[in-house]
């Protein structure tokens, strides 16, 4: 018979190790770790491209910042020849502030005009831009002058920007 406490500990240790070795459970699989969600796509950045309309056509650019759903920034384009023919100043760019909102991959923006253009376009004249789709590199939109613009500066068209 076993007389020492060490012998009993040795037996318990052997039985324990044998039980673990004979168990049905093998090594466990590592728990998969979900990769972090990609950052949401926003309108923040420098955009440039083409504005096409019946009256206003040309190359344009916009510097936009999106914070949550709010969008702000500035836009500009060379003064279109059709507006110069109506006595708009050819020596300055057509430009102004941008305000609006974006959600998912669409946006509603207003391209305003700086004070220098009020005599030509009227007070609070702006271009309402409906962005139908944007992603990391491209923005597609339709636009129309708002109800505050004075004729004949009333137009609508498309906008295609890249960044």
d(Cα 146, Cα 154) in Å, to the nearest integer?
A: 8
- Count structural domains, the chain: 1
Q: What is the mean pLDDT of residues 87-113?
A: 92
Supply the range of the domain harboring residue 114: 45-162
| pLDDT tens-place string over residues 126-146 | 999 999 999 999 999 999 999
Within 10 Å of residue 148's Cβ, how many Cβ atoms?
11
In this predicted structure, what is the pLDDT of residue 86? 77
Of 43, 41, 38, 54, the C-alpha closest to 101 is 43
Q: Which residue has the higher pLDDT, 41 or 15?
A: 41
d(Cα 86, Cα 88) in Å, to the nearest integer?
A: 6
In this predicted structure, what is the pLDDT of residue 2? 52
Q: What is the mean pLDDT of residues 98-121?
A: 91
Query: pTM value?
Result: 0.75
pLDDT band at 5 (very low <50, low <70, confident <90, very high): low
Identify the CATH number of the domain in which residue 141 sits. Answer: 2.40.128.30
- What's CA 92's distance to the chain center, in Å? 29
Whether pLDDT at 88 is above 80: no
d(Cα 93, Cα 108) in Å, to the nearest integer?
A: 23
Buried-exposed string 9-24: b where 16+ CB fall within 10 A, e elsewhere: eeeeeeeeeeeeeeee
Asked if residue 36 belongs to a domain, the reply is no
Whether pLDDT at 109 is above 90: yes
- Within 8 A by CB and 6+ apart from 109, the residues are 71, 98, 99, 100, 128, 129, 130, 131, 141
Asked if residue 34 belongs to a domain, the reply is no
Whether pLDDT at 19 is above 80: no
Asked if residue 158 belongs to a domain, the reply is yes
In this predicted structure, what is the pLDDT of residue 18? 60
Q: How many CA atoms lie within 13 A of 70 on its CB side?
A: 2
């Amino acid at each position: 018979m076993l007389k020492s406490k060490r012998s009993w500990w040795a037996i318990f240790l052997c039985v324990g190790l044998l039980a673990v070795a004979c168990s049905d459970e093998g090594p466990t699989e590592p728990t998969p770790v979900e990769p972090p969600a990609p950052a949401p796509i926003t309108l923040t950045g420098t955009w440039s491209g083409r504005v096409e309309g019946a009256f206003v056509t040309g190359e344009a650019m916009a510097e936009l910042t999106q914070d949550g759903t709010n969008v702000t920034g500035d836009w500009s384009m060379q003064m279109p020849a059709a507006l110069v023919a109506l006595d708009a100043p050819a020596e300055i760019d057509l430009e102004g502030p941008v305000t609006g909102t974006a959600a998912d991959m669409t946006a509603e923006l207003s391209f305003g005009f700086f004070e220098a253009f009020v005599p030509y376009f009227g007070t609070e004249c702006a271009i309402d831009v409906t962005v139908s789709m944007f992603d990391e590199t491209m923005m597609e939109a339709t636009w129309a002058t708002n109800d505050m613009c004075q004729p004949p500066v009333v137009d609508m068209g498309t906008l295609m920007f890249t960044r």
